[in-house]
Structure 1
Amino acid sequence: MQMLCVAEAHHAGLLGDRTRLVPRAKLRPLTVTRRELRRLALPDGLELAEPESGMPRPPRGRTWVVGDAFSGKVQAGWLTAAPRRLVIVDDGLATIRLLELLSGRVGTPLLRARAAASPLRTLLGTAASLRLRAAARSGRLAVFTALPVPAALAEAVRRTGAELVTHDFAWLRAQPLRRPRPEERTVVLGTSLVRNGLIHRDRYFGWLAGLGSAGPVAYFPHRREDPDDLARVGEQPGITVYDGGMPAEMTLRGLAAEQRVLSLPSTAVTSLRVLLAARGVTVETVEVPDEWWTAQAAPSLRSHLSMFAHHDTGVPG
């Protein structure tokens, strides 16, 4: 998702004339996404560099584009490098949390939700938060997102001085379709909620079994799903597990009008609705029943996820 959004940000003119996109080595999703991007007509001036094991540091006085603003390595880079400008692109639900922290109480550390941070890590997150706010005040921070940012939050972010830029995947929508679509009428997006211990595994698999018994289902895994869970998904009658790795926005943009996408609350729901609206494809968010949630699913997390549940079809049977 971050790699795709860098291409979109460059296409939108947010990054300047030339952008060097450097993926991390040995991460299969990045390798697969890079390979797919190379098959497309990249925006002029965007270079897909070879993967590197370490995080590259931007030359002094240049624009630095990052996705995971909660990474300790990225935050250390903010403090030790001197980028002229910082652009943050989408990293799923974490993007909304970042906007809330940026516009919230000064001094709140930039830490992942549910993270148990050490004092040293908290200190780094606090220093990174202050540096990010300073960049915003001086007009050197932009956030580039396709997510539905609530109006009040968007206004609060802009009051910090940060530039909030929304997009609708204009570059990707203009690319020719080169990948065959799945034959199944129903497409299900995998979820990380099971592996993260936020919903009960048996409830989720019971729902999938019901879908598979009703007709053929194409299942596209989430990049963080447990391999053992995926093997169990593939054992469900009627369900075919497809090879994952790339963002769903790239994999499924060629679906036909007679197909539908089902997903538990996810940021991919928003972007797929944008990409597939013109093709007449229905993208449905499945509301998570109360009994699915585990004790680890805090009310704040459920509230976050609810912003991606608009236009849904209700509770699974």
Structure 2
Amino acid sequence: MSPHTLAFVESPVQLLNVLEWAHTHGLTRNERPKEAECAGPSGDGRRPLGADAGEDGAGPGGPPVLPLVPSQTRRGTRRREEAAPQLTVVVLSPTDPMTRGQLRRMAELARDEGYEVRWEEARGGAAAPFQTIGGLTPLLRRAERVVMGDPFSRYVQLLLTITKARDLVVVDDGTATMEFVAQLARGERLVRWHRKGGRPGPRDLLFAPVSAAARRRLTPGGSRPGRRVEVFSSMPIDESPDGVTVTANGFSWTRSRFGPPRITTGADLVGTSLVETGVVDGDRYLDAVRTLAEAHGATRYFAHRRESADKLHRLAVRTGLEVVRPDLPLELIARRGPIGRTVLSFPSTVVHTLPLALAGTGVRVAVCDIDPAWLTAHASPRAQGFLSGVTGTARDVHRIARTVQTG
């Protein structure tokens, strides 16, 4: 019997990539019909900006309205036979309503694959972390393999100090995976790329011993000989520590479960949270979106789950684009369709993942670099180089010349 695996996720994309990892390693245990039944409230898994939705996708004045996902259908969907699950997914729930909503939908997909999903209100108050860690400790002690979506997460780093698992797996959390592997290879402390270069704050210094212990555990051998470390990624990884196994994520689960999509004649634009993370100036970003949309005839803007409602409202007014809040990660939305024949993006994870998810469909993914003039005064000193690297290492994408005039 395969070793029991415990996975920790904090975002919808992390959970998607846990499902991709499980599929690649043969943990998927049943087949289900294609995604015809997996539709959101509007039938396509998307929620237009302005739709009355509260926490976790709640409708106006009522309980949460979940999309029709496979486990809720009756057309050909089968529940698993009673058996001990090979994989238990622990959702360390964030507080952001859009992220929570997408995570609940992804959790239903994971359950439909036959995996156990444990939802933890890990940030639901001052006592929540202690209750969560206390409740998870027995599972961590028994797990033979631990999968994590965000090795930079303090929550995950703290949980790593408890587990005795010999096998550790890091699945993609977007472009941050590239930085994680590079930092691990160089023996550096684990710091998110958009914060690198700044002075550590009091909380960073207080947590430094835990972060250092997590880095040692994520180094093959380390304090425990025989520990195996795997990185499962669709990102280009040029350097990795000795002994780390890198497995390519080709989005085979996504392509086997969803699509092929209906393709429209127009273009769609993918949003980014670079404004919210303090890297790009908000007004410059809106001007860039408007110019890019006009130049390429884009009509829809797929918002990142972390983009603020105020910014999206301003964007809709200034650009005339239809702003769409996806109910699932964009890779699944795009694979299901409808999707534009051209998908426009700024440097982000999707320039690496969408060509894989949409392989064979004829959809063109195009990326526009970030002009240095768009960066804020607070942006990390290495932000421009990192973003250029995201674009430069992307495969099967088209580069768009920077013709956007702002200021």
TM superposition score category, shorter chain reference? 0.7 to 0.9
Alpha-carbon distance in 1 for matches of 2:209, 2:20: 33
Deviations 1:81-127 (A, max 9, x none): 2223211111112211110121113xx32233316343212222122
Contact 1:287/1:316, CA 8 A, preserved across alignment: no
> What is the DSSP-based 3-state SS (H/G/I as helix, E as strand, rest coil) of the residue aligned with 1:252?
helix
Q: Indicate if the aligned counterparts of 2:270 and 2:304 stay in contact, CA closer than 8 A.
A: yes
Paired residue type of 2:349: T
Query: What amino acid sits opposite 2:380 in the alignment?
Result: A
Aligned to 1:242: 324
| 1:206 equivalent in structure 2 | 287
Cα deviation for residue 290 of structure 1 reads: 2.2
From the superposition, tell whether residues 265 and 211 of structure 1 become closer, same or farther in structure 2 (CA, over 3 Å).
closer
In the other structure, the counterpart of 2:218 is 132
1:24 and 1:30 in contact (8 A); partners too:
no
Shift in Å, 1:206: 1.2
DSSP-derived class of the 1:233 partner: helix
Q: How far apart are residue 50 of structure 1 and its match? A: 4.3
Matched residues, percent identical? 30
| Pair 1:22-2:90 in alignment | yes
Q: Which residue of 2 aligns with 1:10?
A: 22
Contact 1:63/1:86, CA 8 A, preserved across alignment = yes
CA RMSD in angstroms comes to 2.8
Q: Which runs of 5+ in 1 are unaligned?
A: none
* Compared CA separation, residues 241 and 182, structure 1 to 2 (3 A): farther
Task: Give 1:66's aligned residue.
Answer: 148
**Is 1:314 aligned to 2:397, yes or no?**
no
Instruction: Say if 1:131 and 1:258 are closer, same or farther in 2 by CA, change over 3 A.
Output: closer
User: 2: distance between equivalents of 1:41 and 1:53?
Assistant: 18
Q: Which of 189, 197, 215 in structure 2 is aligned with 1:109?
A: 189
Match of 1:290 in 2: 372
Aligned-partner Cα distance in 1 for 2:401–2:17:
30
Match of 1:84 among 154, 166, 173: 166
Question: Are 1:132 and 1:141, in contact at CA under 8 Å, matched by a contact in 2?
Answer: yes
Aligned to 1:38: 108
Deviations 1:180-233 (A, max 9, x none): 868671211111111122112112111222345564521111121122101111
Contact 2:145 2:168 in 1 (8 A): yes
Describe the shift of the 1:285–1:2 C-alpha distance in structure 2 as closer, same or farther (beyond 3 A). same
Which structure has more relative contact order (CA 8 Å, sep 6+)? It is 2
| Other-structure match for 2:10 | none
2:235 to 147, 152, 165: 147
What's the CA shift for 1:304? 2.1
Distance verdict in 2 for CA 1:135–1:229, change over 3 Å: farther
1:7–1:42 contact (8 Å) kept in structure 2: no
Matching residue's letter, 1:112: R
Partner of 1:185: 266
The 1:177–1:42 alpha-carbon spacing in structure 2 relative to 1, beyond 3 Å, is farther
> 2 CA distance for matches of 1:296 and 1:79?
33
The separation in 2 between residues aligned to 1:15 and 1:104, in whole angstroms, is 33
Please identify the structure whose Cα radius of gyration is greater: 2
Q: Which residue of the partner structure matches residue 120 of structure 2?
A: 52
Whether the 8 Å CA contact 1:2–1:90 is kept in 2: the answer is yes
User: Residue 163 of structure 1 aligns with which residue?
Assistant: 245
Which 5+ residue runs of structure 2 have no aligned equivalent? 1-12, 29-84, 123-131, 393-397
How far did 1:266 drift?
A: 0.6
Distance across 2 between alignment mates of 1:4 and 1:289: 31
Secondary structure of 1:285's partner? strand
Instruction: Say which is worse superposed, 282-291 or 231-240, in terms of deviation.
Output: 231-240
> TM-score, structure 1 length as denominator?
0.85
For residues 262-314 of structure 1, give each alpha carbon's deviation from its aligned partner in whole angstroms, at most 9, with x where no partner exists: 11101111110112231111101101122112233335232222233143122
Residue 281 and residue 37 in structure 1: after superposition, are their counterparts in 2 closer, same or farther (change >3 A)? farther
Q: Distance in 2 between matches of 1:169 and 1:230?
A: 29
- Deviation of residue 32 (structure 1)? 2.3
What is the Cα deviation at residue 139 of structure 1? 4.0
Please say which of residues 290-299 and 15-24 is displaced more in the overlay. Answer: 15-24
Q: Pick the aligned partner of 1:251 from 333, 345, 352.
A: 333
Could you say which structure has the higher strand fraction?
2
* More divergent stretch after superposition (91-100 vs 253-262): 253-262
**For this pair of structures, how many residues does the alignment match?**
306
> In 2, are the aligned partners of 1:186 and 1:259 still within 8 Å (CA)?
yes
Work out the CA distance in 1 between the residues paired with 2:299 and 2:270. 10
* Equivalent AA in structure 1 for residue 102 of structure 2: V
